[in-house]
Amino acid sequence: MKTAATLRSLFMRELRLVWRGGHLMPVLAFVFICVTLMPFGIGPELALLQRLAPGLIWVIMLMAVLLSLDRLFQADFEDGSLDQLFLLPVALEWAVIAKIAAHFAGIILPVLITLPVAGLLLNIHPESVLPVMATMLTGAPALVMLGGIGAALAVAVRRAALLTVLIVTPLYVPVIVFGAGALSTALSVPGTLDVTALGVLALISTATVFLAPPAIAAALRAGLR
């Protein structure tokens, strides 16, 4: 009972920091700028935009996640609050899950909600909005968990944004491949879901939810030595 109360308090604290710190608006602004400028860079041909939309949406989502990783552990490391996680009466792995869950709820979920709607500018059929959201929601936990590993490995490095990107980008390749494939089906046949690709995404996300917290906790312990 005490563990649940501690984790709930940590989750609410992190969520308030996300909302009060203004971390969400830059990420949303980045998403809308990308979606708005893509048609100008690619051209006005609607058929071309529709063909490229699956890859573009996933790349924009990936960049939004990378943009938000800086605040996951780096700020806590710099102001000393990361040390307090080791003093909590819960395992560090559970504290990591609470922090990442708050990060997901405060930043990633709003991006997931707005991205398919913004994708209408890329000629997404309205009937494909819900399948697109389902696909993105299935793959998003893997992006965040894998990004958390990179952020934890680079936590002791000043201005480690580029290092984090270099660490996590290769890990994102399977998610992008299967995610873009599932989106391609959803966009080519409005209202259709690629069950196979969606299943693989769900498997990857489930594996990262179980395997990433111990890896992140080990990286944080190593970084604070």
Q: What is the pLDDT confidence band of residue 3, given thresholds at 50, 70 and 90?
A: confident
Q: What is the pLDDT confidence band of residue 91, given thresholds at 50, 70 and 90?
A: confident
What is the C-alpha to C-alpha distance for residues 196 and 142, in angstroms, rounded to an integer?
17
Q: What is the pLDDT confidence band of residue 193, given thresholds at 50, 70 and 90?
A: confident
Domain residue limits at 59: 2-223
Q: What is the pTM of this model?
A: 0.86
Token couple for 43: 């051209």
Please say whether the beta carbons of 162 and 110 come within 8 A: no
88: left (phi over 0), alpha (psi -120 to 50) or beta: beta
Q: What is the pLDDT of residues 9-59, one digit of tens each?
A: 888 888 888 777 677 888 888 888 887 777 777 766 767 776 777 777 788
Spell out the residues 6+ positions from residue 138 whose beta carbon is closer than 8 angstroms to its own.
182, 198, 201, 202, 205
6: left (phi over 0), alpha (psi -120 to 50) or beta: alpha
What is the C-alpha to C-alpha distance for residues 6 and 172, in angstroms, rounded to an integer?
32
Token couple for 179: 């995610």
Residue 95 exposed, middle or buried by CB count within 10 Å (0-12, 13-18, 19+): buried
pLDDT at position 190: 66
What is the C-alpha to C-alpha distance for residues 52 and 18, in angstroms, rounded to an integer?
32
Q: What is the pLDDT of residues 143-179, one digit of tens each?
A: 999 988 888 887 777 666 677 778 888 888 888 888 8
Please say whether the beta carbons of 154 and 162 come within 8 A: no
Radius of gyration for the chain, computed over Cα atoms and rounded to the nearest angstrom: 18
CA distances from 163 to 27, 149, 159 (A): 19, 12, 9
pLDDT at position 208: 92
Tally the domains of the chain: 1
Q: Count the Cβ atoms, other than its own, within 10 Å of residue 38.
A: 20
Place of tokens 């071309």: 48
